[in-house]
Amino acid sequence: GPLLERRLMDVRLGELPAWLATRDISPQGLLGGVRKAWSNYQDKYINVRRGGPAGVSMLLAGYCLLSYVWNYEHISKISFLVSL
């Protein structure tokens, strides 16, 4: 199909610069891409009939990991003080 309608995973390496030139890089275009990615994530993992808790647990695990990374410096200082 036309290069504009292809997904990133369907584009060959030589076609990548031309494909990137067809993308909308404006703030509105980027926001639309984030909305589409979030919608695809919800459709694949959250809004499934027989999917179980996999999507919600992935989201929770990601939040825990991100929270740990944000607080790592604080946590490492506390563990250093406790070991003294």
Residue 43 is which amino acid? D
Number of structural domains, the chain?
A: 2
What backbone phi and psi angles, to 5 degrees, belong to 82? -70, -35
**Does 32 lie in the same domain as 66?**
no
pLDDT in tens, 26-39: 999 889 989 998 99
> What residues make up the domain containing 72?
52-83
Over 70: is that where the pLDDT of 52 sits?
A: no
> What are the Cα distances from residue 26, in Å, to 19, 32, 78?
16, 10, 43
**54-81 residue pLDDT tens:** 777 888 999 999 988 887 777 666 666 6
Predicted TM-score of the model (pTM): 0.48
Q: How far is CA 62 from the centre of its chain?
A: 10
Residues 59 and 31 in one domain: no
